[in-house]
Amino acid sequence: MSISPPPPAPAAAELGPTTAEQRAAKAAANRGEPTLDFTGISPYDAYVRASTLHTLQRPLSSEPGEMSFLMVSQIMELYFGLICFELCEARRALREDDLPAALAPLNRAVLHLTGLNATWHGLSWMTPADFNRFRDLLGEASGFQSAMYRRLEFVLGYRSTSLIRPFRRQPEVYQALVDEMRSRSIWDETIALLARRGFDIPHDLLERDFTEEHRPHEAVEAAWVTVYREDTPDLRRLGDALAQIAEGFSDWRYEHLKAVKRTMGEKPGSGGSSGVAWLQRSLARVVFPELWSARTII
């Protein structure tokens, strides 16, 4: 499981590359019409792999509504990976003290969260009767078992060693999650940046066991109170971007809870959880806690 771009593949013959001059010459030769003949697959398919993507939907039933459920789930998986990628880019930039470089991927992540949350609308038609037509065929399959969602939680700062147990028999996936748990979350890197900017952050908070979930600390809260009271421009922009990410992520979890209520009621979840009750407990957890508690003091 990777969220970093793979090494560039050998350039497909269908892709080029081309220059601006070559594109202008082609448009002139075509008299403004698009190119219709290629020696192999279309360059678009060579780049996007669209023909591969559209072979990945394999419903287990003949119920038409299952296609929505399956494809929306796959779209969400892609968004999880994209948001992870952006947050890891931002985390790297924060580690390098390059705050402007961190803000660009953070702002993109905010937009990706908007897209992710919009995918829930594709399932708003589903009632318990609709879901029950194919639910039994899913066995114990559950969104709880999404490794990329779990990695997204780890990058944001949620940590729990028990949550990687479902992936023990998938060595590469399991190791990626272990490595992520041992790394600083984006919130840990933000706290480290605050320390380098002169805020009084205890050393044991900077060098703690990162496999343990961060616990709110008054020194971090005090730092954010100062940032907002003194209107420190670059750090305030960082705080605002992180707050939008926290809101977007919380919105996704709330939309998940609503979807489960609408399609399952209080039934147990497919993966063995209590369903709604388990999601409600999860929803109570806060991303970037001191960023929110500081608002009470400001």
Same domain for 179 and 293, yes or no, is yes
What pLDDT score was predicted for residue 161? 85
Same domain for 114 and 258, yes or no, is yes
Same domain for 209 and 87, yes or no, is yes
List all residues 6 or more positions away from 256 whose beta carbon is below 8 Å from its beta carbon: 120, 143, 279
Determine, yes or no, domain membership for 15: yes
9 band by pLDDT with thresholds 50, 70 and 90: low
What pLDDT score was predicted for residue 234? 95
Determine, yes or no, domain membership for 272: yes
What pLDDT score was predicted for residue 265? 86
What pLDDT score was predicted for residue 297? 95
Range of the domain at 50: 1-55
- The enclosing domain of 224 has a CATH number of 1.20.58.480
Same domain for 51 and 119, yes or no, is no
The rounded Cα 43 to chain-centroid distance in angstroms is 28
pTM of the model: 0.92
Same domain for 89 and 1, yes or no, is no
- Asked whether residue 196 carries a pLDDT value surpassing 70, the answer given is yes
What pLDDT score was predicted for residue 12? 52
* Whole-number Å distance between alpha carbons of 298 and 294: 6
Q: Is 203 annotated as a binding residue?
A: no
What pLDDT score was predicted for residue 75? 98
Determine, yes or no, domain membership for 161: yes
Same domain for 88 and 194, yes or no, is yes
| Helical axes 233-264 vs 147-156, angle rounded to 10° | 140
Q: Is 151 annotated as a binding residue?
A: no
Same domain for 34 and 80, yes or no, is no
What pLDDT score was predicted for residue 6? 65
Question: Which run of H or of E encompasses 68?
Answer: helix 65-95
State the total domains in the chain: 2
Average pLDDT of the segment spanning 249-257: 94
Determine, yes or no, domain membership for 62: no
CB 126 within 8 A of CB 68: yes
39 band by pLDDT with thresholds 50, 70 and 90: confident
Same domain for 260 and 287, yes or no, is yes
